[in-house]
Chains A and B, each alone.
Chain A
Amino acid sequence: MYGIKNKHIIQMFHVYKIYGNKEVISDISLNVKTNEFLFLTGPSGAGKSTMLKLLYVGEPISKGQIIIDGLNLVRITKHNVHVLRRKIGIIFQDFKLIISKNVYNNVALVLEAKGYSRKKISQKVNSILELVGMKKLAYAYPPSLSGGEQQRVAVARAIVDDPPIILADEPTGSLDPDSAITIIELLNDYHKRGGTVIIATHDRSLINGTNRRVVYLDNGMIEK
């Protein structure tokens, strides 16, 4: 389900992202192995979020190549971008939950989009909400939840269909320390089950003392 261990699931070759005259990402080459847990860090404006956007084709690459699980992102069009995004669970600092849908439906949406049956959706959603501790609030709407709870729903949505990769952009950025720990633990659990995780963060406390690989970005370049 998560791919072959030690095989590179993400490969970036001399990747650039240029806005006008400004190189936001400059000549980045990076390989990420299957089941790797990687922190992408650096100061604000270093290009962390942009790099994640390039990985899920939120922005097109200006130069270079990115290959994710055999898909060449340069060749991905607007019509088949869903093929890539079904391999990736994305978590944002601002949660990006649909406020008109309750917790259950926010999580179920991923499976509905993939065409699962209602029975299967019910099974998967209930089980993942149980895992993230949100089952009791399944019918609550996002505005009535705390930041930590909303982020747990976002994590549930990202991992509900066990995608091979999770990209998290400042997932603890707007959370209190306890909620932040819960989110990191959930991502750790996902990683233990074989998933690949990339977390973009400038929060040093998440990185300090970890034995995970840390990639430091500054001015759009990887600091050696």
Chain B
Amino acid sequence: MSLISNFYIYFKGAFQDFINNALIHTITIITIALSLLVVGAFGLFFLNVNNVIDSWKQGIRIMAYFDSHVSERRSLDIMENLKILKGINEIKYISKDDAIKYLEKKMKRHKELLNNLRENPLPASLDIQIHPKLTDWNEIEELAIKIENIPEIKEVEYGKGWLNKVTTFIDLFKITCLTIGFILIITTLFIISNTIRLVFYSRKEEIEIMRLIGATNSFIKVPFYLEGIMQGFIGGLFGLAALYLIFISIFSGQVPDWSQNIFQPLFFPFWFSINIIIFSMFIGWVGCYISLKQFIRL
């Protein structure tokens, strides 16, 4: 038997069954689409929060202040040595003079306060920009400690407190998303397997007849698997399309001005959307597998 002929028969069987049990299949497709919509909404929220956090991370800096007795030459040597450390993107040396000039610029209206100073109290410092790829908070902390341990460095600042808070929040959010996603996937699996079971019950006599005429297990099963995969595909497509429409309607030209520097709302990239549909098809197949495993034992 040719492969094409085989597939034609299987697809014909699956398609006919789809038409014959349109109501049951429609309900399942809607369920898959809704589940995907909810999981997708969480995923999308997570993606955008991650995006915001990443943009924050790109701005992470470590300010290392030198002891007042350290010469400029020694400071520059230290800067050169730090450049080879992993995780550092860029280092800028800020001399005592540069620091006071910067302060003067920032305090234009209160310049007279600075004029009264007998000597420049500001220390020379290094403005260390962390590499955007260094996203592990522990590694950032390790780097800061390493810099702090240099004897010529008096003090290091890198916003440890809020880093910890953000880390905890992200971890908690990840766990919540994963748990809800997992529960919804299990629910969807349960619904798909029950749908296939209903279809199976409605076709029980037909399947028995097929067995009597010498049909193999795979001849009976394959159309069911195709149905599960088709359900997953259509449900996935509808769910994703609905999510996109909701996303568009919420964010099209509605991004508040204050947030434009923080983040630009993102939808799932194309390849990721394709993966979501493939995953949805996989869920359809698994739901079908669970159901058939119980029934094709006649």
Q: Which residue of B lies closest to A108 (CB)?
A: B9
Q: Is A96 an interface residue (CB 8 A)?
A: yes
Q: Assuming the A-B contacts A78-B297, A85-B212, are A117 and B16 also in contact, with contact meaning beta carbons closer than 8 angstroms in the complex?
A: no
Q: Is A90 an interface residue (CB 8 A)?
A: yes
**Residues on the A chain within 8 Å of B205, using CB:** 96, 98
Q: Is B182 an interface residue (CB 8 A)?
A: no
How far, in angstroms, from A85 to B206 measured CA to CA in the complex?
16
A79 close to B212 (CB less than 8 A): no
Question: B193-236 CB contact bits vs A (8 Å, 1 = yes)?
Answer: 00000000000011001111111110100000000000000000
Q: Is B8 an interface residue (CB 8 A)?
A: yes
B217 close to A109 (CB less than 8 A): no
Interface size on B, residues (CB 8 A): 22
Q: Assuming the A-B contacts A100-B16, A113-B219, are A85 and B5 also in contact, with contact meaning beta carbons closer than 8 angstroms in the complex?
A: no
B214 close to A110 (CB less than 8 A): yes
Contact of B214 among A79, A113, A118 (CB under 8 A): A113
How far, in angstroms, from A109 to B205 measured CA to CA in the complex?
14
How far, in angstroms, from A55 to B217 measured CA to CA in the complex?
20
How far, in angstroms, from A115 to B1 measured CA to CA in the complex?
5
Q: Is A116 an interface residue (CB 8 A)?
A: yes
Q: Which residue of A lies closest to B202 (CB)?
A: A100
How far, in angstroms, from A85 to B2 measured CA to CA in the complex?
22
How far, in angstroms, from A85 to B214 measured CA to CA in the complex?
5
How far, in angstroms, from A72 to B4 measured CA to CA in the complex?
34
**Which residue, B8, B9, B16, B297, has most C-beta atoms of chain A within 10 A?**
B9
Chain A positions 189-224 with a Cβ under 8 Å from a chain B Cβ: none
Q: Which residue of A lies closest to B206 (CB)?
A: A98
Query: Min CB distance, A52 to chain B, in Å?
Result: 11
B209 close to A115 (CB less than 8 A): no
B209 close to A96 (CB less than 8 A): yes
Q: Is A63 an interface residue (CB 8 A)?
A: no
Q: Is B298 an interface residue (CB 8 A)?
A: yes
B210 close to A109 (CB less than 8 A): yes
B5 close to A90 (CB less than 8 A): no
Q: Which residue of B lies closest to A157 (CB)?
A: B213
Query: Min CB distance, A44 to chain B, in Å?
Result: 22
Q: Is A81 an interface residue (CB 8 A)?
A: yes
Q: Assuming the A-B contacts A100-B16, A100-B20, are A78 and B298 also in contact, with contact meaning beta carbons closer than 8 angstroms in the complex?
A: yes
Question: A86-124 CB contact bits vs B (8 Å, 1 = yes)?
Answer: 100010000011101000000001101111111000000
Query: Min CB distance, B204 to chain A, in Å?
Result: 12
B5 close to A81 (CB less than 8 A): no
Q: Which residue of A lies closest to B212 (CB)?
A: A90
B206 close to A112 (CB less than 8 A): no
Question: A70-89 CB contact bits vs B (8 Å, 1 = yes)?
Answer: 00000000110110011000
Question: B172-207 CB contact bits vs A (8 Å, 1 = yes)?
Answer: 000000000000000000000000000000000110
**Residues on the A chain within 8 Å of B275, using CB:** none
**Which residue, B206, B210, B214, has most C-beta atoms of chain A within 10 A?**
B214
Interface residues of B (CB under 8 A from A): 1-2, 5-6, 8-9, 16, 20, 205-206, 209-217, 219, 297-298
Given contacts A90-B213, A115-B5, 9 further A-B contacts (CB under 8 A): A98-B205, A100-B16, A109-B213, A112-B9, A113-B216, A115-B6, A117-B1, A117-B2, A118-B8
Report 23 cross-chain contacts, Cβ distance below 8 Å, ordered by A residue: A56-B212, A78-B297, A78-B298, A81-B211, A85-B211, A85-B212, A85-B213, A96-B205, A96-B209, A96-B212, A100-B206, A109-B210, A109-B213, A109-B215, A110-B214, A113-B215, A113-B219, A115-B5, A115-B6, A116-B1, A117-B5, A118-B8, A157-B213
The list of the 4 closest CB pairs from A to B, nearest first, reads: A115-B1, A86-B214, A85-B214, A113-B215
